[in-house]
Amino acid sequence: MKALVTGGSGFVGRHLKDYLVSMGDDATLLDPTVDIANEEALSRAMDSLPSGSIETIYHLAALANVGESFGSSHEVFRVNVMGTLNLLEAARRVFPGARIIIVSSSEVYGRVSPNLLPVDEDSPLAPLSPYAASKAAAEQVAMQAFRAYGQRVIIARPFNHIGPGQSDSYVVSALAKRVLLAQRGGIGSIRVGNLESRRDFTDVRDVVRAYRQMAEVGVAGKVYNVCSGQSVSISWLAGRIIRLAGAEVVLERDPRLARDVEVSDIYGDSSRCRSELLWKPAISIEESLKDVLEWWSIHLEAD
């Protein structure tokens, strides 16, 4: 399968590329210096690819930091919404038959009342952050292209990712890094934000498998939750990290580190992915955390 990956230099993109290559796919990364929100620049970049060669496009390029999006909504919309619009238009011209996996986010569901969990793909969208709103908006762009032009768009709504190589602006990766740093520095405690939030975590390597499976057998115009189907609390994860690292570190709660607009618990209904894509997560949280710790221990040593 000849694939184009946007956002291929990001955390998920790197794992996706590795996986596609391991499966024998021919994966091209869109030049990461191309500003996808710039219609002409993206057009030129797409035109420069061998014509008719791309069967699948994985659209991962996005500004993905939820917290930061509150201070940069204009840029977030520019990249995530206008970028998706530009990508679909260029693809329609250059690779009209391509399947296009549009990576959205479970953030589009917003705060879901406990009695409505797990959230399935038909749950109402109620974005809380500019990031979430931009993803909900990009979904509208993508679905319109499917309805009006028959573009073979499939929307992925991944829940939280974990895995080696993730930036420390994400909670699990940050905790792993800070636990290791505390351990090495002989520091007995680290300050953390809201530990009671519960999230549905999937290893990034399982997530990218789901994306390829979507491209293989997913139905155009459909949305797929990518998730484990259950949530765990950040405090539980932090405890596992400390234990796996063999560290003696205490967590100190600091309310100033908690996000303004916070979802207390969310987990997805993964049955569509399981039944239609025959996909399920293969990597346990324990394994993920071990790999995250190992990744940080290598990268902290390199510093």
Contacting residues toward a second copy, per CB under 8 A: 39, 70, 73-74, 77-78, 81-82, 85-86, 89, 110-111, 125-130, 132-133, 136-138, 140-141, 143-144, 147-148, 260-261
Name the residue nearer to a second copy (CB basis): 73 or 194. Answer: 73
The answer to whether 129 touches 70, Cβ cutoff 8 Å, is yes
Q: Closest distance between a second copy and the C-beta of residue 191, in Å?
A: 25
Residue 126 or 283: the one with the smaller Cβ distance to a second copy is 126
Minimum distance, C-beta of residue 73 to a second copy, in the bound complex (Å): 6
Residues 6+ apart with CB under 8 A from 251: 189, 190, 192, 195, 235, 238, 242
Task: Report the amino acid identity of residue 64.
Answer: A
Nearest approach in angstroms of CB 75 to a second copy is 10
Q: What is the distance between the alpha carbons of residues 251 and 179, in angstroms, rounded to a whole number?
A: 9
Strand partners, 203: 162
The smaller minimum CB distance to a second copy, of residues 147 and 243, is found at 147
Using DSSP bridges, classify how beta strands 189-192 and 250-253 pair: parallel, antiparallel or unpaired: parallel
Task: Kindly state the smallest distance separating residue 66's Cβ from a second copy, in Å.
Answer: 11
Least separation in angstroms between CB 10 and a second copy = 23
The residue among 34 and 285 lying less far from a second copy, judged by its C-beta, is: 34
CB of 125 to a second copy, least distance (A): 7
Toward a second copy, which CB reaches closer, 9 or 73?
A: 73
Check if the beta carbon of residue 227 is closer than 8 Å to that of residue 162. Answer: no
Question: Would you say 23 or 261 has its CB closer to a second copy?
Answer: 261
Q: Tell me whether residue 132 or residue 237 sits nearer to a second copy (CB atom).
A: 132
Q: Minimum CB separation from a second copy for residue 46, in Å?
A: 15
Q: Which of 140, 115, 130 is nearest to 266 (CA)?
A: 115
* Cα separation, 134 vs 76, whole angstroms: 7
